[in-house]
Amino acid sequence: MTKNNLLSEKLNYTGASHTPTHLHLCTYNAESLEFHQGASMEEFSSLIRPDAINWVQIHGLQNTKVIQEICDFFHIDFLTTQDILNAEHLTKIEEHDTYNVVILKQLSVHEENTYVPQQLCIVQGSNFVLTFMEHDSDFFNEIHTALKNNTLKIRNRQSDFLLSVMLNSVMASFMSIISRMEDELEDMEESLLSPETRSGLKLEDIQPYRKNARLIKKCILPLKEQMSKLFHTDNVLLHKANRPFFTDVNDHLQFVLQTLDGCRDMISALVDLYLSNNDQRMNNIMKQLTIVSTIFIPLTFLAGIWGMNFEWMPELGWKYGYLMAWGIMLVTGVGVYLFFKRKKWY
C-alpha cells in the first residue's frame, strides 16, 4: 500500500477501492436547489455560487489529480489533502482558519451481520461542504430528501448546520446497527434460557457479535474524544444558533456508547450462559452414566459371587437357580432405580 510522504509533493491514495472518481454538486439557499454531476472540478467551477451553500460529494479517491483540483479550488492545504487520501487516517476534528475538517469511520453492510468500516471525510467552510468517500454510497440520500423538502428549513441555514446533520446521520447509522444487535442478542438470550431451543445455539453464533461490538467501539470511541472540539471553541464557522444541533449529535454519541457497553455486557453474559448450559448438559450426561453404573454395581457383585469356583454352591445345582439369579438381579436393578427416582436424583 502506497503512503503519503511529508517530504514529497506527490499525492497518493492509500486505500484499496477501485471506484472511479466522480462528483455530485448540490447548491442551495432559501430560494433555490440545484443538483449536478460531473467527473472533474473544471465542470463545476462555474456552478459554484457565493450566495449559496455548495455541497460537493466526491465518490472514489483514485484520481488524486481531481482530488487536488477540488482542494486547490476551495483552498484546502496540502497536509489536509494528504489526510483525505489516507484511508487509514485516525478519527479527528480539526479547526483551520477558513474551514473545519472531520475525519471519521462509518460502517457499511458487507454481508448479513458483517460490517466494513469506511472512511468519511467532511470539510466545512463558510459557504461549502465537501464530503469524500472511497466508494459509491447512498448514505446521504435522506439529506437530499430533506433539502428537497426543506426539512427544518435546512436550506435557510448555514453550512455548519449541514455538517451537524451529516454527523447526526453517522450517529443514526450506528444507532440502527446497535439497536438491531441489541434485539438479536435479546432473542439469543431467550433461546438460551428456553430448554426447547438452547441446544440449537452454538458459540460460533455469538462470536460475530463480539467482533462487531469491538469494531463499532474502534470506530466511535475516538470520536467521543474529538467531539469536545466542537463545543469548547470560538470557531467562527460554528454559529451559536446551531450549537444545540452539535449538542444533539453528542447526545446521540453518548447513547451509542452506552448502548454499546450494554451490548458488550450482554455478549459476555451470553457466553457465560452458553458455557453454563454446556456444563449443565455435560453434568446431566455424567449423572445418567453414573446412575447406570450404580445400578450395575450390585449386579456385578452378585455375578462375582456366583462366578466363584467353590466346589459346593447349593443354588447352582438347583433346578430354578438360573431363574432365581435373574429375578434377584432384576429386582435389585429396579429397586436401585426406584430409590434414585424417589430421591429425585434422576
Kindly compute the dihedral angle of the four CA atoms of residues 229, 232, 233, 239, in this order, to the nearest 10 degrees. Answer: 100
Band the pLDDT of 163: cuts 50, 70, 90: very high
Task: Report the residue count for the chain.
Answer: 346
CA 302 centroid distance within chain = 64
* Residue 237 within any structural domain of the chain: no
The set of cell numbers assigned to 235 is 470557531
Q: How many C-beta neighbours within 10 Å does residue 93 have?
A: 20
The pLDDT, as a whole number, for residue 6 is 54
- Residue 146 and residue 4 in one domain: yes
* Residue 35 within any structural domain of the chain: yes
In total, how many domains does the chain have? 2
- Residue 147 and residue 291 in one domain: no
The pLDDT, as a whole number, for residue 3 is 55
pLDDT in tens, 241-289: 888 999 999 999 999 999 999 999 999 999 998 888 888 888 888 888 8
* Residue 220 within any structural domain of the chain: no
Of 118, 134, 154, the last residue of a domain is 154
CA 277 centroid distance within chain = 26
When comparing pLDDT for 205 and 55, which is higher? 55
pLDDT(199) > 70: no
Give CA–CA dist 250/268, Å, rounded: 27
* Residue 262 within any structural domain of the chain: no
The pLDDT, as a whole number, for residue 16 is 86
| Most trustworthy range by pLDDT among 84-88, 316-320, 339-343 | 84-88
CATH at 298: 1.20.58
* Residue 114 within any structural domain of the chain: yes
Of 130, 154, 178, the last residue of a domain is 154
- Residue 150 and residue 1 in one domain: yes
pLDDT in tens, 287-302: 888 888 888 888 888 8
Give CA–CA dist 34/153, Å, rounded: 16
- Residue 292 and residue 150 in one domain: no
* Residue 293 within any structural domain of the chain: yes
Compute the average pLDDT of residues 23-27. Answer: 96
* Residue 224 within any structural domain of the chain: no
* Residue 134 within any structural domain of the chain: yes
Closest CA to 162 of 137, 140, 135: 140
When comparing pLDDT for 235 and 2, which is higher? 235
Provide, rounded to the nearest whole percent, the portion of the chain with pLDDT above 90: 53
Question: CA angle 143-147-152, nearest 5°?
Answer: 90
Domain assignment of residue 141, given as a range: 1-154
Of 137, 154, 171, the last residue of a domain is 154
CATH at 142: 3.30.460.20
Compute the average pLDDT of residues 29-44. Answer: 92
Residue 88, amino acid: E
Instruction: Record the pTM.
Output: 0.81
pLDDT(2) > 70: no
